[in-house]
Amino acid sequence: METRVYQTYSVKDITGFYSLQQFCTQALTWAEAQDFFHFFTDNQLGSQYPHGGFRNLLTLGARERILLQKDQVFSDMQKYLLTEKNDWIIGYWGYDLKNEIEELQSHNSNPFMLPDAFFYIPEILIFFEDDTITIASFDNPNQILQTILSTPIAQNSGLSFKGDIQQRTPKEKYLATVEQLREHILDGDIYEINYCMEFFSENAVLQPLQAYQALNALSPMPFSVYGKVDTHYLLCASPERFLKKERNKLISMPIKGTIRRGVSPDEDVILKDLLHTSVKERAENMMIVDLVRNDLARSARSGSVVVEEMFGVYTFAALHHMISTVVAEIRPEVDTIEAIRNAFPMGSMTGAPKIKAMELIDQYEDLKRGLYSGAVGYFTPEGDFDFNVVIRSIQYDVTQHYLSFSVGSAITYDAIPEQEYAECLLKAQAMYTVLTAR
């Protein structure tokens, strides 16, 4: 069997008088001609974030698409990992795989014709480090490097999107639905639920790379992804890790609790303290931490589930988030895919109790979630993995000219509908700004 050739280059030697950022843009411009690519980056936030962010990695082309049959996605993936040679595997888990895990259904429609899960072994990998670039390929890395260096960069037109953005769920309906969900909580059906709504554009024309670069500049996140599968683009500015495996350690970092940035450093301090001490936000976070602890316990050694950090407040470009970190030691007999399955979908995007919350999500939301609130990431040759939560993400299909982004918030009995609506708009702000900038 062929093996990959790894070649490392000094950034200074290969970029000459221009920047690493320009080299990345050339590489991404070249990647767009491929049917499949994914660009992962931590935006240099990894050192500030518990357990780091994504690897800075670009994967191009599909040496092999992994066949996953409907209703047996997890078992097919596990069989593949057990029987094939170890390599980098890239792809996503869609939210509606919940129907394979539990006795659930998805009654709503989704305009994106994506499979519930998709994974591939890339033809080429490019690792971006502080002062080096490593190309891993079955062909000649030097030739790939020269191809990238000779790729022209399109001139920035200053206009990445053409179309009208509509809100699928009117404000009045959103507010009424929150009240209905509060009634479910009062009745004891659930005690928290993540309720989402979509913004969309039909007949949209998007320059995906330009839009992603604008989004990533406006909202740099530790789990950022720019990817393409056939005609479908994902522009993802996610702050949240779903699940990471690092040797025998599982790591989950649920987000619950959001507040805007201040207009000054002093106001930032005040707002962070408001978030950290908010009874409502702490209650939301604690509920989901309990849910994540239970999910990880299904795969963990007895007594190994630990909350490393509770109610941590982290600052991003446009907002502050409350993030907790839960870790566990995986039992030797638990397969890699079983550990993912036991925790999927992530509790921060469902609610608790999890199954009932997912039933109500399908009942009250206006769209099948699909890739949104699923997870994108990678498996390493060593058998580890890292997956984010697909939020703060623009999706665009080149053939259908359909563009979509969704946002949501956690609803508890104490939720005030107008405030929840305002939180949704805050989360949508970066994506809306990128698309409407002129």
Give the angle 123-124-128 at the CA atoms, nearest 5°: 155
Q: Which residues contact 218 (CB under 8 A, 6 or more apart)?
A: 317, 318, 430, 433, 434
What one-letter code names the amino acid at 196? C
Predicted local distance difference test score (pLDDT) of residue 134: 96
**Quick one: CA dihedral 228, 216, 313, 259, positive or negative?**
negative
**Helix segments in 187-235, DSSP class H:** 208-218
CA atoms within 13 A on the CB side of 326: 28
* Integer Cα distance of 429 and 165 in angstroms: 13
Question: Which pLDDT does position 153 carry in this prediction?
Answer: 83
Give me the residues paired with residue 117 across strands. 93
- DSSP summary character for residue 301: P
Amino acid letter, residue 351: G
Q: What is the pLDDT of residue 17?
A: 55
Which of 438, 437, 436 has its CA nearest to residue 201? 436
Establish how many alpha carbons lie within 13 A of residue 346's alpha carbon, considering only the half-sphere containing its beta carbon.
27
pLDDT score recorded for residue 130? 80
> Which parts of the chain sit beneath pLDDT 70?
1, 15-18, 85, 157-158, 438
Per-residue pLDDT, 145:
93
For residue range 255-283, what is the model confidence (pLDDT) as tens digits? 999 999 999 999 999 999 999 999 999 99
- Taking phi over 0 as left and psi of -120 to 50 as alpha, with beta for the rest, 50 belongs to beta
Which residue reads 């005040």 in tokens? 270
Which one, of 224, 227, 229, lies nearest residue 66 by Cα? Answer: 229
Q: In the block, which residue shows the tokens 């207009």?
A: 263
Q: Quick one: tokens of 144?
A: 């790939």
Residues contacting residue 188 through CB under 8 Å, at least 6 positions apart: none
| DSSP secondary structure, 319-384, as one string | EEEEEEEEEEEBPTTS-HHHHHHHHPSPGGGTEESHHHHHHHHHHH-SS--TTTTSEEEEE-TTS-
Res 397: pLDDT: 97
Per-residue pLDDT, 16: 66
- pLDDT of the residue at 18: 62
Contact 325, 307 (CB under 8 A): yes
Residue 44 per-residue DSSP state: T
CA separation for the pair 369, 69 (Å, rounded):
20
- How far apart CA 261 and CA 264 sit, in angstroms, is 9
Phi, psi for 2 (deg, rounded to 5): -65, 150
How do residues 113-143 score in pLDDT, each as one tens digit?
A: 899 999 999 999 999 988 889 999 998 999 9
Instruction: Tell me the whole-structure pTM to 2 decimals.
Output: 0.96
